[in-house]
Amino acid sequence: MTVDVSKLINCLGKNYLELINSGLITYKSPPIASSGDPDLSLNMAKEGLFLSFKRDGRILQAIVLKIQNDKAKDWIFPNELPSPLQKSMSRQWVHEHIGEPLRCIPPKVIMKRAFGWTDLYEAKGLSIPTSMQISYDMIDKVRSVTYMPTSELRW
């Protein structure tokens, strides 16, 4: 299934039912969570998307675009990316085309797992103030891009 990622990003703050009714999500299974978890999630693996919802009201609060997928052989992100993003980007390319980040976190190793840089940007031109977080692997290739309302940002 092809997903209009740009339209989905503009739906941050809307509830799950609105996304279903608008045709942006056609999954039969609703978002799920463990008991007591305040957030629900919907992993749209084939589409390279992970959606996070607030449990109360099933409000869309974050969209993760999985640019890299270590579990899938020869993975290429299957949907059109919002401009100016591309399906293969380096940290240098991002800085040249999007600009310098508002904030960044340097690479680190946590419990033997290596994490590359993480940069924070303001996503411009959207209906609500939105932040864009870009995470990189250890060789500075974009691993994922997360969109969330700036009001939900915790850095």
Name the nearest CA neighbour of 69 among 93, 94, 87, 56.
87
Q: What is the pLDDT of residue 35?
A: 86
Is the model's pTM score more than 0.85?
yes
CB 67 within 8 A of CB 89: yes
Of the pLDDT bands very low, low, confident and very high (cuts 50, 70, 90), residue 29 is confident
Give the whole-angstrom CA distance, residue 148 versus residue 137. 21
Residue 43 three-state SS: strand
Q: What are the residue ranges spanned by the domains of the chain?
A: 5-152
